[in-house]
Amino acid sequence: MQTDSSFTFVLFGGTGDLSMRKILPALFEAHRAGGMLAASGKIVAVARHVSDRAGYLEWVNEHVKPHVSKNGVDEAAWASFLQRIEFAKIDLGNPEDFVLLRDAIKDLPGIRVFYLATGPSLFVPICHALASVGLNENARIVLEKPLGYDLKSSNAINDAVGEIFAEEQIYRIDHYLGKEPVQNLLALRFGNALFEPLWRREWVESIQITIAEELGVEARGDFYDNTGALRDMVQNHLLQLLSIVAMEPPHSMDSDSVRDEKLRVLRALKPIDPDEIGKVAVRGQYHAGVIRGTSVPAYATEPGVKPDSTTETFVALKVEIENWRWAGVPFFLRTGKRLADRVAEIVVNFRAVPHSALGASALRAGANRLVIRLQPNETIRLYCLAKQPGEGMNLASVHLDLAFDRFFREGQMEAYQRLLLDVINGRLALFVRRDEQEAAWRWVEPILNEWAASHKPPKPYAAGTWGPAAASAMLAQHGTCWLEEEN
């Protein structure tokens, strides 16, 4: 992916955790690859915790370098990358400081990208301050999640930002959309005649989408306790993955064609009746347990968390899509912290054959299955039945495996690297449009409201397990189970 697009990348929150772990490492990898970033492109970090550029580069050496290049750092590439970085010491609470920013970047080339790696409470003040000094022209702005606390607050932020930047200037980032297997899901579906006839209610029995984490809330207890898993993961990541899996073939891969089809899926989600929420939505909270031999504390004892907190750290949902392709097919969504493993995957369970002359094993659920693993190992695996060697017609499950790191010699591009290059080059297809975001909030809100009104505590689960038993019971009612429970 070569580019001549010159740019000035302004990073607000330049000393923050996201900048250190994800954004600057991604930009370094693009720089190190050669040709992905224009030679004239500059990175301007904005922060107030260091005094000058020399101090900031020391900070970057200490906090960013450990997160780059798994096989070691190319010191020559690292040194040349640091030459791209400039620094502006700015107090985001003082609009007059943005004059200093304007002066610092006025002679730098190309499109201006403003990346807001800050809390959402600063999005609107930063946008107003940028506009006050004329920096909203020839610019793109990147907004991190969470974008609001509910539909009303999300609309308030979008309204305010939309007064300053046009929709085509706004890049609402969801890093799961940049992952290689998600891109390959699009290629698998729309580049091969093999799957499209099967990708519908007549042949698909159920679909599972899981994002599981071993980690707890870490140092984000105060933030997380006011957010919860439904807002933090379902409203954005899980519903975006659902829309990619279920969307109709777009007219083309341009940004609006793709996002139009995703929006149709989100608008077709069957509204959840408040009286039915207990049957189709499970929320849980982790208690003390053991993960990989290490004891971990209960959520309620984590720093920053209220001892009597009823915030959910686990959500499982049964979702239906009311359209011709998917009517009657259950989609099971699941996410949680302190679970048994770190995994993100999409599981498409195809229906069993209608009649088997080969024995009962050919009729079992899950005999034909597609598993798209997003993390930690990015793979696509197709399961089918084959005859075991020897006498008799004994069937066994086998799989066809696309492991990207073995099949493709060139290294995979990390999600943030792909998305940052898309921002610089003006490609919007992998970013969330406002109407998509509104549709997701509108569907999620009744669940949030019912949970808040019921005052029922989340169901407990021990850290190191796969969540509350009620999540398994929900699938059992439909004659199926989570993938890891089959063995």
Q: Which residues are annotated as a binding site?
A: 48, 91-92, 145, 175, 179, 213, 232, 337
Is it true that the peptide bond before 376 is cis, omega within 30 degrees of 0?
yes
Sequence-separated contacts (24+) of 75-80 with Cβ below 8 Å: 77/28, 77/31, 77/32, 78/28, 80/31
- 434: closest CA among 200, 118, 156, 192? 156
Cα–Cα distance for residue pair 458/445, rounded to 1 Å: 17
86 three-state secondary structure: strand
Query: Which residues sit in the known binding site for NADP(+)?
Result: 48, 91-92, 145
- At which residue do the structure tokens 């870490």 appear? 218
B/e letters for 444-472, b = 16+ CB within 10 Å, e = fewer, are beebbebbeeeeeebbebbbbbbbbebbe
Contact indicator for 289, 462 with CB cutoff of 8 Å: yes
B/e letters for 133-152, b = 16+ CB within 10 Å, e = fewer, are bebbeebbbbbbbbbbbebe
Residues labelled as active-site residues: 237
Q: Beta-carbon neighbour count of residue 163 at 10 Å?
A: 12
Cα–Cα distance for residue pair 333/326, rounded to 1 Å: 15
- 180: closest CA among 188, 192, 172? 188
- 280: closest CA among 444, 467, 471? 471
Judging by beta carbons within 10 Å of its beta carbon (0-12, 13-18, 19+), is residue 77 exposed, middle or buried? middle
Query: Which residues sit in the known binding site for substrate?
Result: 175, 179, 213, 232, 337
The region, left, alpha or beta by phi > 0 then psi within -120 to 50, assigned to residue 144 is beta
Cα–Cα distance for residue pair 345/212, rounded to 1 Å: 9
- 164: closest CA among 204, 191, 132, 142? 132
Cα–Cα distance for residue pair 294/411, rounded to 1 Å: 33
Helix, strand, coil distribution of the chain in percent, nearest 5: 40, 20, 40
Give the ranges where 226-322 is alpha helix by DSSP (H): 228-229, 239-246, 255-268, 277-280
- 144: closest CA among 324, 17, 312? 17
Cα–Cα distance for residue pair 211/333, rounded to 1 Å: 8
